[in-house]
Amino acid sequence: MNSLSAGPGGRFIGSAADRPAVTRLRRTRWQLTALITAITATSLIVLGLVAATIDSRSRDHAIDNSLDRVVTGLYRAVDLPPGEDVIDLSQIENDALANGETAVMIVSSDGDGKWTESYAHLRSWLPKDDGAAGLADDAVFAGETVFRDGFDNMGRPVRIAATPISWEDSRVQAVVIAGTNPGLWDRDRALLIWGLVVGGVTLVALSAVAGHVLSGRSMRHAMVMVEEQERFLGDAAHELRTPLTTLRLVTEPRERAAQDNQRALTDARALGDRMERIVAGLLARARMQAGVTTMEKVQLLLDQLTESVVEEFPQANIVVTAHPTVVVGDPGLLSLAVRNLIENAIVHGAVNRVAPIEVHVADGRVSVRDHGAGINPQLSSNPFQRGVSGGRGSGIGLALVAWIADLHGGGASMEPAAGGGTIVSIALPLPALGHS
């Protein structure tokens, strides 16, 4: 049969990087990944800002409530004995509110506008003297508890509350000041910010990976369709080039004898039939792989199907040995496979035109032997790979044979024949006894 070589058909579909359609699909995949990542990042940023704002307001409200509870509780513990101008803090010293985790300071004034520190707990967490005095003035002026954001002795941000105390018939005034733990204030906000940043970055990275994977999976079918489209176009162009060129030569206008005209018409008809079979085979594969059509599964006599295909080659020297064998499959596809086997044997067995093409059918197997040059051992170990040929074709015919056999759950094989030539076979599974 044929000595195998890598034909030009193998160049129809280049590497993925060289194919514009695949490049566009990959670019679209990255664009989808970027879009998903951008949407996720934007959503997380908005949600993070909203969460930070809500947390800040909630935290401020909770802190103000805590400070108000301290200054209000200590308000009742500060007393001014009748006729005295010095406040009594004896109850403050043993009060849990004045000795807890909240900074406390009590300042007093005899009405001269100068404030004197009378009691302090965790003084470093509260503003310096001038800041404390200004806060006391604000509280007295407002006549109620006031809340301010300020800085402690070390410049750290703190939340401060101050409530004024006054007595009838006395110029003495006092102000209870309470402040938050600045370290707790900074740590809680830092933990929230870092949590939002780390969590957001992690979610964005995960969404990018998930988006890239999902977009790749969604485009996998499109990639297959692009490959099949390119393969169909390449196969059609290559397979039809030779018969079209030959047809043009056969039908070229020139003076001929009547016998030559008849021969030209016969050759043209044969070439037309061949092109029709080529197109039918390529379309059948393309439609099947695109999901437009499905394989028909019917019980058929493989020997009769083979004999009917052989009748399509009246000029060829073909000897058929057929035994009744029943298989389940698609008649059109199996006819195409047998036809390609015979055409392949005719083309590559032309080395010895006197010797017949031998076709043997039995037990779900169709074997076609030619008496050609045999298999070239230097070439591909897979003669059914698309693009591998013996130099007179593209190798598409045998690739279709292998595809059809595989589609039916069988296989295709090629082996050297004893005495010269090659045997190419397709083997199909026999139906179960209940289907025979």
Q: What is the pLDDT of residues 42-96, one digit of tens each?
A: 998 998 888 888 877 888 888 889 999 999 999 888 988 887 888 888 888 888 8
Residue 248 domain flag: no
Alpha-helical segments (H) within 291-395: 302-310, 331-348
Q: What is the C-alpha separation between 401 and 354, in angstroms, rounded?
A: 26
Averaged pLDDT for residues 139-148: 93
Helices then strands, counting H and E runs in the chain, come out as 8, 14
pLDDT: is 280 or 296 the higher one?
296
Please provide the distance, in angstroms rounded to a whole number, between the alpha carbons at the two ends of the chain. Answer: 35
DSSP string computed for 92-109:
HHT-SGGGSSSEEEEEEE
Give the number of domains in the chain. 2
Q: Are residues 202 and 302 in the same domain?
A: no
Q: Indicate the residue among 222, 256, 283 that finishes a domain.
A: 222
Asked if residues 283 and 236 have their Cβ atoms less than 8 Å apart, the reply is no
Q: DSSP state, 79?
A: B
Residue 208 domain flag: yes
Strand partners, 140: none
CA 223 vs CA 25, 110, 236: distances in Å: 7, 88, 20
Q: Are residues 53 and 164 in the same domain?
A: yes
Q: Are residues 322 and 208 in the same domain?
A: no
What's residue 214's pLDDT? 85
What's residue 193's pLDDT? 83
Q: What is the C-alpha separation between 342 and 336, in angstroms, rounded?
A: 10
- Any idea what the CATH number is for the domain that residue 196 is in? 3.30.450
Q: Are residues 181 and 318 in the same domain?
A: no
What's residue 3's pLDDT? 36
Asked if residues 305 and 335 have their Cβ atoms less than 8 Å apart, the reply is yes
Asked if residues 286 and 232 have their Cβ atoms less than 8 Å apart, the reply is yes
Q: Indicate the residue among 162, 192, 222 that finishes a domain.
A: 222
Q: How many residues does the chain have?
A: 436
CA 95 to chain centre: 65
What's residue 261's pLDDT? 65
- pLDDT-based confidence at residue 297 (cuts at 50, 70, 90): confident
- pLDDT-based confidence at residue 278 (cuts at 50, 70, 90): low
CA 53 vs CA 90, 189, 193: distances in Å: 42, 11, 11
Q: Are residues 166 and 301 in the same domain?
A: no
Q: Are residues 210 and 314 in the same domain?
A: no
* Residue 46 domain boundaries: 7-222
Averaged pLDDT for residues 325-353: 84
CA 85 vs CA 26, 71, 162: distances in Å: 86, 22, 21
Query: On the CB side of 378, how many CA atoms lie within 13 Å of its CA?
Result: 4
Q: DSSP state, 395?
A: S
pLDDT: is 170 or 7 the higher one?
170
Instruction: State percent of the chain over pLDDT 70.
Output: 74
Q: Are residues 189 and 320 in the same domain?
A: no
Q: What is the C-alpha separation between 431 and 328, in angstroms, rounded?
A: 6
- Is residue 10 scored above 50 in pLDDT? no
What's residue 19's pLDDT? 63
Averaged pLDDT for residues 164-184: 87
What's residue 4's pLDDT? 35
Q: Are residues 35 and 118 in the same domain?
A: yes
Averaged pLDDT for residues 7-24: 52
Strand 411-416 to 422-427 pairing: antiparallel
- Is residue 23 scored above 90 in pLDDT? no
Q: What is the C-alpha separation between 224 and 22, in angstroms, rounded?
A: 10
Asked if residues 392 and 372 have their Cβ atoms less than 8 Å apart, the reply is no
- Any idea what the CATH number is for the domain that residue 375 is in? 3.30.565.10
Q: What is the C-alpha separation between 164 and 142, in angstroms, rounded?
A: 9
Which residues fall within 8 angstroms of residue 335, CB to CB, at 6 or more apart?
305, 308, 309
pLDDT tens-digit map of 346-374: 877 766 667 889 999 999 999 999 888 77
What's residue 323's pLDDT? 93
- The secondary structure element, H or E, covering residue 293 is none
Residue 350 domain flag: yes
Residue 66 domain flag: yes
Residue 316 domain flag: yes
Least confident piece of the model among 215-224, 276-285, 308-317, 335-344: 276-285
DSSP string computed for 7-59:
-GGGGSS--GGG-HHHHHHHHHHHHHHHHHHHHHHHHHHHHHHHHHHHHHHHH
Q: Are residues 307 and 209 in the same domain?
A: no
Q: Are residues 216 and 77 in the same domain?
A: yes
Residue 108 domain flag: yes
- pLDDT-based confidence at residue 28 (cuts at 50, 70, 90): confident
Residue 420 domain flag: yes
Q: Are residues 69 and 181 in the same domain?
A: yes
Q: Are residues 186 and 57 in the same domain?
A: yes
What's residue 380's pLDDT? 52
Q: What is the C-alpha separation between 185 and 180, in angstroms, rounded?
A: 7
Averaged pLDDT for residues 107-123: 89
Q: Indicate the residue among 165, 191, 222 that finishes a domain.
A: 222
Residue 50 domain flag: yes
| Count of C-beta atoms within a 10 Å radius of residue 143 | 10
